[in-house]
Homo-oligomer: A and B are copies of this chain.
Amino acid sequence: MAPKSVQTAPDATGDPKHAVRATRSAGRQMRSRLLDGASRLFREQGPAGTSISDIAAAADAFPSQITYYFHTKEALFVEAACRDMLYVARAAEQAALSAHTPREYTRALVASVTATDSVAFFAEALTLTRRRQDLAPLVERTIERLHGEGLRAYAGQIERHGWNTLRDPDATSRRFWAVAIGVMVEGYATGRSPDELCAEMLRVLGEQATTKPAGDSARLRLVGERDPSVSNSPQGETSS
C-alpha cells in the first residue's frame, strides 16, 4: 500500500511560501519513509529485536532523524502500527465493495484482514501502550477512526444493497474489530496460517446481515440488541 501522507513537492512558482512548503513536504516524505522502514522491521523482528539504528539504516536516514520525528522507538512502533491498521481497514473495505451478498461482503473483509499481519502488529502496539499511557491518545484516535470508518462503510453497504443488519451497525463494526484482534492474537501465538486465520475468524464472527426480504420496503431495519429470531418475523426471509 502506498503511504498516503507522501505528497509530491509543489512546483517552484516564485511564491515565497514555496520554500516552507518544500521543507514541509520533505519532512512528510522522510516521516513516511521512516514509518515504512520501521513497519517492515517491527513486523519481522518485534520491538525488542529492532533498534533505532536498524530502522535508520533501512530508511536510509540518521538515527537522530528518528528521535527528531518520533522521540522514542516505542512511539514510532505505535505510530507505524496505527497507520498500518487504518490502511488495512480501508483496503478491506475496498476489497469488499464489489460484494453482492452479506456473506460475500463479510468473506471479502475477513480475507483481506487476515491476509497480512497488520492486526497482529496493531494488537502488539495496544499491548505496549498499556504500559506506556503517554502513547494512549494516538491509539485512542486510531480506534475511534477505525470504528467510525467501519460503521460508515458498513451502514453504507447495508443501505446501498437494502440488506438487513442483524445488530446495530456500530456494534457490528466493533464486534468485527474485537473479533479480528482476538482471533489474530491467538492465531499468531500458535503459528496459524492466513487461511486458518480466515476460516477461524469467519466462524467466530458469524452472520452480520441477511439479504433484503422480498416485499419489504427499502428502509434500513436495525435489529439492535434484540434477538433476531424473535423480531419482526413477518419481515424475515421466512416470509418469502
Contact = CB atoms under 8 A, between A and B. Distances in A.
Contacts of A185: 123, 126-127, 181-182, 185
A206 interface: yes
- For the complex formed by this chain, how many copies does it contain in all? 2
A189 interface: yes
A19 interface: no
Contacts of A46: 130-131
A133 B189 CA distance: 7
Interface size range on A against B: 35 or more
Contacts of A83: none
A227 B210 contact: yes
A179 B236 CA distance: 28
B127 A171 contact: no
A228 interface: yes
A180 B127 CA distance: 14
Interface of A: 46, 48-49, 120, 123-127, 129-131, 133, 136, 139-140, 143, 164, 166-167, 171, 174-175, 177-183, 185-186, 188-191, 200, 203-207, 210, 223, 225-231, 233, 236-238
Closest 6 CB pairs of A and B: A178-B182, A181-B182, A182-B182, A126-B189, A129-B189, A233-B238
